[in-house]
Homo-oligomer: A and B are copies of this chain.
Amino acid sequence: MRQSKLFTKTIKDAPKDEVSVNAQLLIKAGFVDKLMAGVYSYLPLGLLTLRKINDVVREEMNAIDGQEILMPALSPKELWDKTGRWEDPGTEVMFQFKGRSDKELGLGWTHEEVVTPLVQKFVKSYKDLPVAVYQIQDKFRNEPRAKSGLMRGIEFSMKDLYSFHTTEEDMWDYYEKSKQAYLNVFNRCGLDAKIVEASGGAFSKYSHEFQVLTEYGEDTVFYCSKCDFAQNSEISKVKAGDKCPKCGESISEGKAIEVGNIFPLKTKYSSAFKFKYTAENGKEQDVIMGCYGIGPSRVMGSVVEIHHDDKGMIWPEEIAPFKVHLLFLGKDDKIKAAAEKLYLGLNEAGIEVLFDDRDVSAGVKLNDSDLIGLPYRIVVSEKTLAEDSVELKKRADEKVDLVELKKVVKMLSA
């Protein structure tokens, strides 16, 4: 894409009321715009990024037999009355209002009350199970502390998967599979997540969270650096320096960002909706459920919190809006022509490239490029032209090797 065609521009100063690093950088770089606290618009670069995160999530959910659906944001009070969640947590979390004929409606902050009776319509027998369905959809929460950019939204994107099983054993098998799928998602998005025991909140007795250790985190985690023991401080009975109850090693304390969570719902929602299946022996039994959440917009915010330097963001390759930022520095027509040729060549080679074809100074181009933070930068200048080559730069903490891109660039600039 030609940067001159992009209707957004980088912004020099982030809004003063934005305290989080992710919102400051994403707004300055023109990825998102703030409509009100906790509510953002995704601009072209931000939407490309969000969609790449969605694609990663979708691939990993399909790989564990998730069937994608799309449920509405609106749902009627009756469904939430079945589980008591219309009243508790009620308006503390849910936006509730009236439609025509005084019909009471709410905006979905989670979807157990919608998905359970939906799957119930089709699943009658043990032969129909297990089933896993998921959606990627905007959720709404009447959030009192929407001060963390994309990390804590009032309107935010969510992938919620719900699994349905004949036995607890089968649910636990799937639960373990989902853990690996989640680690795959986070790994592909450049996040090194730890699986942490936590409370189940309004969903279940307990849960597992996926936490990324970082000084910018809102949560506190106690973890063992030798084994996989890790607990959220909300439920932890150990403290830093204690012996790990699993392996005896010393416990560490760290700040962390929660990027996903999974809940063994068991029969909490199936029993509320009387969702039973006929077992092989002919008897009716409660369906066993689990639910599994990742917020793609929260992942986007987390990636920025963790991958940035004082000049801007540094996007992991798989979710960057473009792979390459192509710049030309200098006013000479020959330089621009060489860059134009390279732009067409990279496009033809199927490499996603943002081409800064604007008539602005070298300083502006380099600063904007640092701020936007694409994985690779190719610079065409008088110097590179004299050497019959280009300058190819990789952002510091990328692991992917450059061989393929170098080949293409060499071929193109020859």
Contact = CB atoms under 8 A, between A and B. Distances in A.
A247 B83 CA distance: 65
A7 B123 contact: yes
A414 to B, nearest CB: 32
A207 to B, nearest CB: 25
What number of copies of this chain does the assembly contain?
A: 2
A277 B182 CA distance: 47
A118 B65 CA distance: 40
B128 A7 contact: yes
Contacts of A9: 122
A74 B7 contact: no
Contacts of A8: 122
Given A96-B97, A133-B7, A47 B74 contact: no
A7 B122 contact: yes
Interface in A56-86: 65, 67-76
Contacts of A73: 73, 138, 140, 155
A272 B114 CA distance: 40
A16 to B, nearest CB: 15
A300 interface: no
Interface string A122-166: 110000100101000010101110000000001100000000000
A44 interface: yes
A155 B41 contact: no
Contact of A41 (B118, B138, B142): B118
A246 interface: no
Contacts of A107: 107
Nearest to A68: B47
B99 A70 contact: no
A185 to B, nearest CB: 20
Interface residues of A, number: 52
Contacts of A119: 7
B97 A69 contact: no
Contacts of A41: 69-72, 114, 118
Nearest to A7: B131
A43 B142 CA distance: 28
Residue with the greatest number of chain B CB neighbours at <10 A, chosen from A39, A44, A123: A39
Contacts of A128: 7
A409 B6 CA distance: 45
Contact of A97 (B6, B95, B155): B95
A42 B9 CA distance: 37
A122 B171 CA distance: 50
A50 interface: yes
Contacts of A68: 44, 47
A147 to B, nearest CB: 12
A219 interface: no
Given A35-B72, A47-B68, A100-B142, 16 more contacts: A30-B122, A33-B118, A35-B74, A35-B76, A35-B118, A36-B74, A36-B75, A39-B72, A40-B72, A41-B69, A41-B72, A41-B114, A72-B155, A73-B140, A96-B97, A100-B143
